[in-house]
């Protein structure tokens, strides 16, 4: 994770919203047939629906967040699930505090 990629990822209101929702997935998303909301993450389809965007649009947002190290992805069957990478987020917060 580079700080530049992280700032790029955080520069979007939609990506910030996704990170906020994934902080408490059980509160913001319905139960899933496959995958535990907390342990496995939230299906990208559910994130797209909640965000009100197409699958390709949400896929790009999720890709940016994943490349920045803020999300982890996991494949289950044909679906991809996303959850926050809390250690990386803590590391980024610490890095920002020391640099500013």
Q: Give the domain CATH number at 47.
A: 1.10.10.10
Structure tokens given for 62: 């999720």
pTM for this entry? 0.92
For residue 34, is it within any domain? yes
Tally of structural domains, the chain: 1
For residue 21, is it within any domain? yes
For residue 23, is it within any domain? yes
- Residue 54 belongs to domain spanning: 3-95
Q: Please classify residue 70 by burial: count the beta carbons closer than 10 Å to its beta carbon, then call 0-12 exposed, 13-18 middle and 19+ buried.
A: buried
Q: Provide the pLDDT for residue 1.
A: 59
pLDDT string in tens for the chain (100-residue length): 578 889 999 999 999 999 999 999 999 999 999 999 999 999 999 999 999 999 999 999 999 999 999 999 999 999 999 999 999 999 999 988 887 7
């Amino acid at each position: 994770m580079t700080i530049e990629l992280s700032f790029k990822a955080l520069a979007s209101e939609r990506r910030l919203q996704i990170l906020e929702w994934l902080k408490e997935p059980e509160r913001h998303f319905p139960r899933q047939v496959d995958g535990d909301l907390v342990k496995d993450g939230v299906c990208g389809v559910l994130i797209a629906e909640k965000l009100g965007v197409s699958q390709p649009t949400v896929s790009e947002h999720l890709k940016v967040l994943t490349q920045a190290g803020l999300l982890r992805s996991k494949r289950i069957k044909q679906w991809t699930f996303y959850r926050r990478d809390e250690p990386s987020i803590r590391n980024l917060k610490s890095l920002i505090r020391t640099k500013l």
